[in-house]
Amino acid sequence: MSGPGPTGDGLEADGAVDEGHYHLRLYVAGQTAKSLAAMANLRRFCEEHLAGHYDIEVIDLMKNPQLAAGDQILAIPTLVRRLPAPLKRIIGDLSNTEKVLVGLDIRPKVDGL
């Protein structure tokens, strides 16, 4: 039997929030070019900057439009950082890495230090 540790969903085994884990929710509307670009850019970004410390939930508002109200989604695609608090939103296809870093409050890795 092991002690408290990560459970893979951003929570520790004892129910506490893992501060280093990012829970990201991407709202899209179908398989449009912007939606597909946002999904690809988000996966690339997470692998480069959050490797192993994130989970992504993609919500297609064409299938579940009622889910837009929960995170007050007004435009798509929209990325919502649910954890760590506070909640943050970024609108667009996530192609601007600097904007995503600032929007998610992530410090870029610096090579050579």
pTM score, whole prediction: 0.77
pLDDT tens figures, 41-82: 999 999 999 988 999 999 999 999 999 988 889 999 999 999
Rounded mean pLDDT of the chain?
Answer: 82
The 3-state DSSP class for residue 53 equals coil
90 falls within a domain: yes
34 falls within a domain: yes
Indicate if the pLDDT at residue 14 is higher than 90.
no
Q: What's 54's domain CATH number?
A: 3.40.30.10
5 falls within a domain: no
On the question of a cis peptide bond just before residue 4, with omega within 30 degrees of 0, the verdict is no
Number of domains in the chain: 1
Task: State residue 62's pLDDT score.
Answer: 95
The range of the structural domain enclosing residue 50 comes to 22-104
Query: What single letter denotes the amino acid at residue 59?
Result: I
